[in-house]
Amino acid sequence: MTSLSLASFTEPAMTVGAGLSLSEVYQRWQETLPEVIVIVDEGQKPVGVVQGWRLALSLEREGTLADFAVGSVTAPWRSPVVEVPAAWTLLQFQGWLRTQAEMPADIAVVDAQGCFVGLLDQQRLLYHWACQPPLPWLEVIEQLPLPIQIQNAQGRVLWQNHAWSEYLTDCLPLVQPQFEGMSCQALEGRSLWQVCSFPLNLRSLDGEKAKSSVAIASDRYWLFFAQQRQEADPTTPTRLQQLRLHQQKRLLLSLGHELKNPLTAILGLTQLLWQHPLPEQQDYLALIQRSGWQMNRLIQAWQDYTRALWRELELQWESVELADLWWRSQELAEHLYNPTPPSWQWQWQIDQPLSHVYLWGDALRLRQILAHLLGWLMLFPSDRYGLRLSRWQNWLALQLWEEGQGIPLQDHDRLLHECLEDYAEVTMGLMLAHQLCRLHNGELSFIAEADSWSEWTVLLPLREEPPPELPTTAQLILLISNDATWIMNTTAALRSSHYGYIVARHPLEALDKLEQLQPTAIVVRPAGSLILADVVESLTTSPLTATVPLIILSDEATPLGLTGFVQRLPLSSHPSLLIDVLDRWCFPRLTFPTEKPTFESPPPNQTVLRLGLLHEISLPHLRLLEAEDLEQAHLLVDIWQPDVLIWDLPAAEVPHLENHPKLRKLPVITLAEDSSRAIHQLGDVMVFPCLNLEDLMDVVLLAATVKAQS
C-alpha cells in the first residue's frame, strides 16, 4: 500500500488570486464558509493560506484593511503553506515527515510544474495508516507486565495484552455499555488491582471498517490499564476514624460528668440526713428521690441511645395517626420534664390539621421522639409555639418552632452530639430522639438564632398518601455549615423557593445524613471549626457523592478526590445565586404553574469567549468571540473583557490554562465531563459544567451572574 501517491489523499480547496482585495475574499468565503482559502499567484502556485473565521474577526475590528490585496498583508489570519509533490509515494512522504520538527498545519500538493492541485487530507491519510496491519509497538506493549486493554464505547474488547489475560480475566468482567470521562474502580474481593480508564483520541481500530474512501470514524475508544492498589496500613487511623473516635470520646466524657452530678447529690444529701433532725429530713429525702429518678432516666436514655445507635433496638411497626400521637407526646413530655411554672400550658399555632395524616413506625418510639423535643422547648418558655406540616420527598416533615428564646450560639455544634452541662437529661433525650428518627429511616436537625427563635425539623416515613392540601416538595437539600447567620438566611431562601432542607454541622453528621436521606443536592460552606478538607474526606467515602451534585461556597482551593458534579461559588455569594444554581442542578422541580423561568429575556450586553471549536453551539442575543488557542483567547480578554469563557478544547489542554491567570479568573463553562474534572482539579477556577447544549444559554447567563456578584 506504500505505492500509493499523495494525489490519492488530496482534497480540493477554494483558491483566490494574490491581488484580490480582502473584502472580495471575505465575500467569497461567506458563500460556502470553507475552513481555509489558498492564495495562489499568477502561475497558480500556492503562496499562503487564509483562515476564514480569523479574517472575518480581523475585518470586524479593523475595517480599513478591506481594500488591501490579500497577498500583500501579513496578519495572524494568514499562515504559510508547505508544498509537496503529488507524485510522492507514501513512503517518500514518511521519510520527508521525519525531517520536520512537527506536522505542518497546511500542506499543499502541487504537480510537476508547481501548480496547486489541492490540500493534503491529513485525517484521511492518518486513517489509512491506522488501518494498516499491527505495528511493532503493539508487540512491545504485549510484553509489558502492566495489564492493558482497549474497548470501544459499546464495551466490546478489541485488544488486550498477555498481562491482562493472566491477572484480570477471572475477576473482572469488564463489559460496560457506556463510559464518560476518566474513571477508576477497585476490584472486589481478593484482588489488589485497581482498573483505570480514559478515552483515546484515536480513529477507528476496527479492521472491518478500514476503507480508504470512507470518512474518519467517530467512534470513541477506551484504554484500560490496571495497577496494584496501595493498601493503607491498618494500624494507622485515618482522619475520618480520628473524627469518629473524638466524637465518641467527647460524648462519653460529657455523659460521665452528668452522671456524676445526681450521684454526688445523693451522697451529699444522705450525709445531711445524719446531721439534721427529723422534720428537715423530708425535704432532703425528696431531693434524693428526684436525683435518683433523674439518674435512672439518664441511664435508661443512654441504654436506649446505644441500642438505637447500633441498630439493636427492635421496632413494632404499625400505622400511627399524627393527631393522637401529638397529644400523647405532650402528656409524656409533661411527665418526663416537669414544666416551669407548673401551671404552664402549651399554646400551639398549627398550620395544617393533624387528622388523616398517618405515619409508619413504632408508636412508643415516635412518641418518645416528639416528647424529648417538647421537653427541650419546655426548658425555656417562649412567647409563641408553632407546628408546620409538609411533605418532603417521601417523608413527612414536622417543623416545631418557637419565638422568644432561640438556642445559644455556643451550643449549636454540641447539641445532638453531647450532654450539655445543667441540661444533661433533656440533651440526652435529644440525642436519643435523633437516633430513633434514624432508626425510622428519617432524620432530625435544627436551625436557631440566639435569643430570637429556633426550629426543629423531624423527617419521618409516611404510611400513606397525605391530604392533598399538604405542602409538597420533591427536592431536599443538605446544608453543611456551622455559620448560624448563613444557615438562617439560606434556609429562608430555600423555604420561599419550595425546597426542603436539612442541616449538618460536623463532617460525620454530614456523611450520616447523606447516606440516610440521599438528598437532591449538597451545599457546603465551611466556617470556624468546620474544615472543608474534613467534609470532603467524609463525603467521598460514600458512593453517593458521584451522583449527588455538590455545591461548595468557599474562596479556598477545592480539595482533590471529588467526583461527580461539583460547583464552586464565592464565599460571599448571595442566597439568590445559590437558588439559581439549585434550580439548574435540581431540575425538574415542583410544577408550579405560576413559576417563571429563571431567565426570560437574556440581556444583550454580555460577551462570551469561546475557546476551541469542537461543538456546534448557538448563542443568540449574546456577543460571541472565538479563539482557536489559549494565546488568542488571552489577547481577546485584554481587548473585549468577556464575562464568560466556554472551554471547547480537549481536556489535554487544561494544564496550559495555569499559565493564563486572566482566563482563570473568568467563569468557565465546560462541555465535556473530562474537561470539567480536569479544570476542577486546578482548584481556583469557577467551573460550570454543561453536558446538554440545549441548556447552554441558561448556564452562560448563570455564570455571568456569578462573575458580576464575585
Which of 100, 120, 140 is where one domain is finished?
A: 120
Same domain, 484 and 465: no
Same domain, 382 and 505: no
Burial of 553 (0-12, 13-18, 19+ CB in 10 A): buried
Mean pLDDT of 114-136: 77
**Is residue 279 domain-shared with residue 395, that is, in the same domain?**
yes
Provide the CATH number for the domain around residue 42: 3.10.580.10
Do both 464 and 489 map to the same domain? no
User: Where in the sequence is the domain holding 669, given as residue range(s)?
Assistant: 607-709
Least trusted range by pLDDT, from 188-197, 552-561, 585-594: 585-594
Bin 256: left if φ > 0, else alpha if -120 < ψ < 50, else beta: alpha
Q: What is the pLDDT, as a whole number, of residue 645? A: 93
pLDDT band at 54 (very low <50, low <70, confident <90, very high): confident
Are 411 and 285 in a shared domain? yes
Same domain for 258 and 379, yes or no, is yes
Pick the range with the lowest mean pLDDT from 562-571, 598-607, 631-640. Answer: 598-607
pLDDT of residue 192: 58
Which CATH number do you get for residue 306? 3.30.565.10
Measured CA to CA, the distance from residue 109 to residue 7 in angstroms comes to 7
| pLDDT tens digits, one per residue of 510-545 | 999 999 999 999 999 998 888 888 898 888 888 888
Q: How confident is the model at residue 359 (pLDDT cuts 50, 70, 90)?
A: very high
Which of these ranges, 393-397, 449-453, 460-464, 594-598, has the smallest mean pLDDT?
594-598
Q: Count structural domains, the chain.
A: 5
Least confident of 5-19, 326-340, 586-600: 586-600
C-alpha distances in Å from residue 678, one per residue of 331, 364, 563:
58, 52, 11
Give me the mean pLDDT over the 258-274 stretch: 64
Q: Is the pLDDT of residue 240 over 80?
A: no
Residue 22 sits in the same domain as residue 167: no
Q: Is the pLDDT of residue 700 over 60?
A: yes
Top pLDDT among 65 and 667 is at 667
The CATH number linked to 165 is 3.30.450.20
The C-alpha atoms of residue 435 and residue 516 are separated, in whole angstroms, by 12
Question: Which cell numbers hold the place of 279?
Answer: 422534720
pLDDT at residue 220 is higher than 50: yes
In a domain, 1, yes or no: no
Contact 648, 671 (CB under 8 A): yes
pLDDT band per the 50, 70, 90 thresholds, residue 459: very high
228-232, 257-261, 701-705: the lowest-pLDDT one: 228-232
pLDDT of residue 273: 65
Return the pLDDT at 277: 61
In this structure, the answer to whether residues 320 and 254 fall within a common structural domain is yes
CA angle 420, 422, 427 (to 5 degrees): 40
Q: What is the mean pLDDT of residues 489-503?
A: 95
Sign, CA dihedral 557-562-563-566, equals negative
Which CATH number covers residue 506? 3.40.50.2300
| Residue-averaged pLDDT of the chain | 78
Encode pLDDT of 284-314 as tens digits: 666 766 777 777 777 788 778 888 888 888 8
Are residues 156 and 269 both part of a single domain? no
Q: Among the listed ranges 249-258, 360-369, 449-458, 665-674, which one has the minimum average pLDDT value?
A: 249-258
Q: End of a domain among 95, 120, 145? A: 120
